[in-house]
Amino acid sequence: MQLYNKLSAKERAELIEKAGKDRLTLSFYQYAKIGNPQEFRDQLFIVWDKLDVLGRIYVATEGINGQLSLPADRFNEFKAHLDTRDFLKDIRLNIAVEQDNMSFLKLKVKVRNKIVADGLNDETFDVTNKGIHVGADAFNELIEDEKTVLVDMRNHYESEIGHFKNAVTPDVDTFRESLDIIEDDLKDHKEDKNLVMYCTGGIRCEKASAYFKHKGFKNVYQLEGGIIEYTRQINEKNLENKFIGKNFVFDERRAEKISDDVIANCHQCGTPFDVHTNCANDACHLLFIQCDACKAEMNNCCSTNCKDIHALPFEEQKALRKGQGNSNDIFKKGRADHLPYKKDLRNIFETFKVDKK
């Protein structure tokens, strides 16, 4: 019985190309009590592998978080399988704004301690006491209220290429970091301000809203379905789009264009640009923003040192990497010191404190 992916990304890409079928990229999550995550994981893999599902799915005792793609003509079969589980029946599936048949090239279903690395002790507060969910129309009205503080619950490299107008964008590398920062900077406004949060698909806000209510915030709201569902609703209902730029996504597409605005810059030359790439030097693999001109000049590398290493024969590169872990820069997500136009660090609530009385 096959319980793990056995094909390389290259082999899978060739099969997708040969099949000639359109694929759907989608995401979903659900908090629920799962007694045996490993058994549930194996059951999912067996069924989804047969449906040609590809993607990254995390299963834990607290629920499931999935980002995946599958042949469009097998969507109904996939949905029918989800409906066989009570806690997944009629679950909202966030269909990607922009489709790409190569968004995922492997099926990875992993058992984790949590479906989102939030660093919280769930035993210390009621995780079911969540904030008020709002759709796109109510969200648009709410964020125009002078009593509202709109907070982006994503990381700095996500908000750098796109965010809602007037949103506070925490300069953090992880979701957990933002929680204490937000609480501290808004500690004097727990009762007189509306705390409105959003993220990519909604999952980070689910836990964050309960956490902030536990911390004493009285008026807590979250964007239902995140940026993905918001985009679907504004297009369907012909609403004003208050999101500028791109929505960062964690697959081969890297991002979905929500508006035509380009709000980021190439980290190497500073020209307006908003496409992330990974450094071609396998010993680095830094995620950063690189324009086409710099990509050509630097051979898709983040520094001259990486460019020189990448130009070496493969065996020499491999020898240099032997016994060494990944560079620490891989975790900086565009903040490496050698990038002259990396995103500036700043006090994320400085504007709020000046403009909001």
Q: Give residue 346's pLDDT.
A: 52
Check if the beta carbon of residue 13 is closer than 8 Å to that of residue 105: yes
Sign of the dihedral defined by the CA atoms of residues 183, 222, 143, 348, in that order: positive
pTM for the full model? 0.89
Long-range contacts of 285-288 (CB under 8 A, 24+ apart): 285/326, 285/327, 285/330, 286/327, 286/329, 286/330, 286/332, 286/333, 286/334, 286/336, 287/157, 287/330, 287/333, 287/334, 288/333, 288/334, 288/336, 288/339, 288/342
Check if the beta carbon of residue 149 is closer than 8 Å to that of residue 352: yes
Q: Give residue 354's pLDDT.
A: 35
**Catalytic site positions:** 199
Q: Give residue 343's pLDDT.
A: 76
Return the closest-CA partner of residue 229 out of 258, 201, 267.
Answer: 201
Q: Give residue 322's pLDDT.
A: 79
The per-residue DSSP string of 137-157 comes to HHHHHHTTSTTEEEEE-S-HH
Q: Give residue 320's pLDDT.
A: 84
Q: Give residue 311's pLDDT.
A: 95
Q: For the chain of 357 residues, list the mean pLDDT of each consecutive stretch of 10.
A: 84 95 97 96 97 97 97 98 96 95 97 92 91 98 96 95 95 90 93 97 95 97 97 97 97 95 97 96 92 98 95 90 62 80 63 43
Q: Give residue 212's pLDDT.
A: 97
Q: Give residue 351's pLDDT.
A: 47
Domains, in order of start, for the chain:
9-111 (3.30.70.100), 122-239+345-355 (3.40.250.10), 276-331 (no CATH)
Q: How far apart are the first and last CA of the chain?
A: 63
